[in-house]
């Protein structure tokens, strides 16, 4: 799921260089070693996060470090995190370390909330996979350390598919056809939560869309390119034919019951979402299997990088007095073998795929044998293969959080058949261009 914080104005910069320099610049000062040495006792770094397993990782870090200690605060979820961080930045008491996801890095940099920690972590680049490393960067500067990757795949109910003579959908056309068969038996093939338009985003991403791009010294906005319209057609057909449930993640238990009971038969997810299934199911263990994401007809397999599924990053805030220590603590949490294993497991952590260069070696630990049963071993190949087809050229714009809030409002209308996907896209094109202009940001579109 995604969320956005209330709209904020960004500081204006010279229009000529705003897209590439002024807009995204942030000073990266930090406390010096002398400053740290002058303090009594160990340096304490406040760390906010929401993922399962982080408390155990913090405990292990603190046990192995005498001079630096992490003070962990568990935030309810990603929505709450952004709101609380916004308030903390305004109040001047932001934590040193913050769990976040890649789509919000540009926005936080634009708000001058993050520290440039490039000098402290750039030497560790070889330890991380290329996509994950890029997720912590804006214009070549690092503002955090990647913690996870996000291989994407379909998980489906094998018993239901077998009962009705269906194969796992290889294409979106197959997916829609299977949904029409399941509909006859009062089963939904997917769920579109009215507050979560990430479905539209990831299908557009998979189709090669680019909602934001840098064009010279300006941002280019395009919500109506060929890829986005291709995604819109698939989504509209699913909605028009009532193939989707409309369960809100606000009632998380109800969503999980729908999958567990067989009322909804598939999900397009990443490894971390399997943890919620493991922790909430009671009936369907062993009835699930993995398959690749459906492809667009006539196209090769391509996995979207996802939205918050892109993977997490541990960000260092500009208000942190001990930025070097914070950067090194973030590195430890992302590279220590025991810490990585803790977070990778759906049982002990969040089922996240590590951001490491050898992340494929953790596939077996990041998926659940309890959930998949006899389908566990074949699932490893599906996850491993998806790591090699991830989209890497998606760009998050400087007003992403505000844009996503507007997108959420329109998506709810789409799901409830109050407007078409193409109507929403036309609105988002106009709205996003005007919003960027209102912030003093050079934009084309």
Which tokens in the block code for residue 59?
């405990």
Q: Who wins on pLDDT, 114 or 311?
A: 114
* pLDDT at residue 367 in the model: 87
Give the burial class of 171: count Cβ atoms within 10 A of its Cβ; 0-12 exposed, 13-18 middle, 19 or more buried. Answer: middle
Closest to 334 measured CA to CA, from 140, 138, 153, 136: 136
28-37, 52-61, 145-154, 323-332: which has the minimum mean pLDDT?
A: 28-37
Q: Who wins on pLDDT, 10 or 256?
A: 256
| Cβ-proximal residues to 363 (8 Å cutoff; 6+ apart), any chain | 353, 380, 383, 384
* pLDDT tens track for 87-101: 999 999 999 999 998
Confidence of residue 374 (pLDDT cuts 50, 70, 90): very high
* Alpha carbon separation from 15 to 27, 216, 405 (Å, rounded): 20, 11, 26
How much of the chain exceeds pLDDT 70, in percent?
A: 87
* pLDDT tens track for 325-362: 999 999 999 999 999 999 988 778 777 788 898 877 88
153 and 382 Cβ atoms separated by less than 8 Å: yes
Q: Who wins on pLDDT, 318 or 396?
A: 318
* pLDDT at residue 39 in the model: 55
* pLDDT at residue 40 in the model: 67
* pLDDT at residue 445 in the model: 74
* pLDDT tens track for 181-226: 999 999 999 999 999 999 999 999 999 999 999 888 899 999 999 9
Residue entry with tokens 């009962």: 163
Closest to 335 measured CA to CA, from 360, 366, 304, 358: 358
User: Exposure string (b/e) for 293-307, b if CB count within 10 Å is 16 or more?
Assistant: bbbbeeeebbbbbbb
SS3 445: coil
**CA 116/CA 108 separation, integer angstroms:** 12
| Cβ-proximal residues to 401 (8 Å cutoff; 6+ apart), any chain | 4, 5, 82, 104, 107
User: Beta strand 68-74 with 97-101: parallel, antiparallel or unpaired?
Assistant: unpaired
User: What domains lie within the chain, and their CATH numbers?
Assistant: 43-150+310-366 (3.40.190.10), 152-306+392-439 (3.40.190.10)
* pLDDT at residue 191 in the model: 97
**CA 435/CA 400 separation, integer angstroms:** 11
Closest to 243 measured CA to CA, from 417, 20, 429: 417
Q: Is the pLDDT of residue 152 over 70?
A: yes
Backbone dihedral angles phi then psi of residue 366, each to the nearest 5 degrees: -95, -5
Residue entry with tokens 């819109």: 232
* pLDDT at residue 432 in the model: 97
* pLDDT at residue 2 in the model: 33
**CA 116/CA 139 separation, integer angstroms:** 11
| Cβ-proximal residues to 224 (8 Å cutoff; 6+ apart), any chain | 422, 425, 426, 429
User: Beta strand 212-215 with 353-354: parallel, antiparallel or unpaired?
Assistant: unpaired
* pLDDT tens track for 18-47: 333 334 433 334 344 444 444 568 999 999
* Alpha carbon separation from 230 to 23, 172, 174, 179 (Å, rounded): 32, 11, 15, 19
Residue entry with tokens 């038996």: 185
How much of the chain exceeds pLDDT 90, in percent?
A: 64
Backbone dihedral angles phi then psi of residue 162, each to the nearest 5 degrees: -65, -40
**CA 322/CA 47 separation, integer angstroms:** 12
Q: How many CA atoms lie within 13 A of 213 on its CB side?
A: 13
Most confident of 13-22, 70-79, 307-316: 70-79
Q: What value does the mean pLDDT of the chain take?
A: 87
380 and 82 Cβ atoms separated by less than 8 Å: no
Residue entry with tokens 């068969």: 181
- Chain centroid to CA 16: 31
Q: Is 339 left (phi over 0), alpha (psi -120 to 50) or beta?
A: alpha
* pLDDT at residue 18 in the model: 33
SS3 370: helix
Backbone dihedral angles phi then psi of residue 276, each to the nearest 5 degrees: -65, -35
* pLDDT at residue 101 in the model: 87
* Alpha carbon separation from 284 to 92, 163, 168, 273, 368 (Å, rounded): 48, 15, 18, 16, 13
Confidence of residue 391 (pLDDT cuts 50, 70, 90): low
* pLDDT at residue 360 in the model: 77
Which tokens in the block code for residue 11?
């500081």
**CA 138/CA 256 separation, integer angstroms:** 36
Which tokens in the block code for residue 384?
């491993």
Q: Is the pLDDT of residue 237 over 90?
A: yes
* pLDDT tens track for 271-299: 878 888 998 999 999 999 999 999 998 88
DSSP 8-class letter at 317 = B
Q: Is the pLDDT of residue 301 over 80?
A: no
């Amino acid at each position: 799921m995604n969320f956005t914080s209330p709209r904020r104005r960004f500081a204006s910069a010279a229009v000529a260089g705003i897209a590439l320099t002024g807009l995204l610049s942030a000073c990266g000062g930090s406390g010096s070693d002398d400053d740290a040495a002058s303090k009594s006792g160990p340096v304490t770094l406040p760390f906010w996060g929401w993922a399962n397993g982080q408390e155990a990782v913090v405990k292990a870090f603190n046990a192995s470090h005498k001079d630096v200690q992490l003070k962990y605060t568990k935030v309810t979820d990603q929505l709450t995190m952004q709101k609380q961080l916004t308030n903390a930045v305004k109040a001047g008491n932001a934590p040193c370390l913050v769990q976040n996801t890649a789509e919000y890095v540009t926005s936080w940099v634009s708000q001058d909330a993050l520290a440039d920690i490039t000098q402290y972590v750039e030497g560790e680049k070889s330890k991380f996979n290329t996509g994950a490393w890029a997720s912590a960067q804006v214009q070549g500067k690092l503002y955090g350390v990647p913690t996870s990757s996000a291989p994407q795949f379909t998980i489906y109910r094998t018993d239901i598919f077998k009962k009705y003579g269906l194969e796992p959908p290889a294409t979106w056309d197959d997916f829609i056809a299977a949904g029409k068969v399941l509909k006859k038996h009062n089963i939904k093939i997917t769920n579109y939560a009215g507050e979560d338009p990430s479905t539209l985003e990831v299908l557009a991403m998979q189709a090669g869309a680019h909602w934001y791009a840098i064009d010279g010294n300006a941002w280019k906005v395009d919500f109506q390119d060929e890829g986005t319209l291709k995604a819109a057609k698939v989504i509209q057909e699913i909605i028009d034919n009532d193939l989707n449930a409309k369960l809100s993640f606000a009632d998380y238990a109800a969503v999980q019951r729908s999958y567990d009971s067989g009322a909804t038969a598939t999900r397009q997810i990443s490894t971390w979402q399997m943890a919620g299934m493991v922790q909430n199911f009671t009936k369907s263990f062993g009835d699930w299997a993995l398959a690749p994401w459906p492809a667009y007809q006539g196209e090769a397999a391509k996995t979207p990088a996802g939205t918050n599924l892109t993977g997490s990053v541990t960000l260092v805030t500009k208000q942190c007095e001990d930025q070097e220590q914070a950067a090194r603590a973030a590195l430890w949490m992302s590279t220590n073998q025991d810490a990585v294993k803790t977070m990778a497991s759906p049982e002990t952590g969040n089922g996240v795929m590590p951001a490491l260069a050898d992340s494929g070696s953790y596939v077996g630990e990041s998926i659940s044998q309890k959930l998949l049963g006899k389908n566990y071993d074949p699932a490893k190949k599906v996850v491993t293969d998806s790591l090699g087809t991830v989209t890497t050229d998606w760009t998050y714009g400087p007003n992403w959080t505000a844009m996503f809030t507007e997108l959420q409002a329109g998506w709810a209308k789409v799901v409830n058949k109050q407007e078409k996907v193409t109507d929403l896209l036309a609105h988002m094109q106009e709205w996003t261009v005007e919003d960027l202009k209102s912030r003093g940001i050079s934009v084309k579109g």
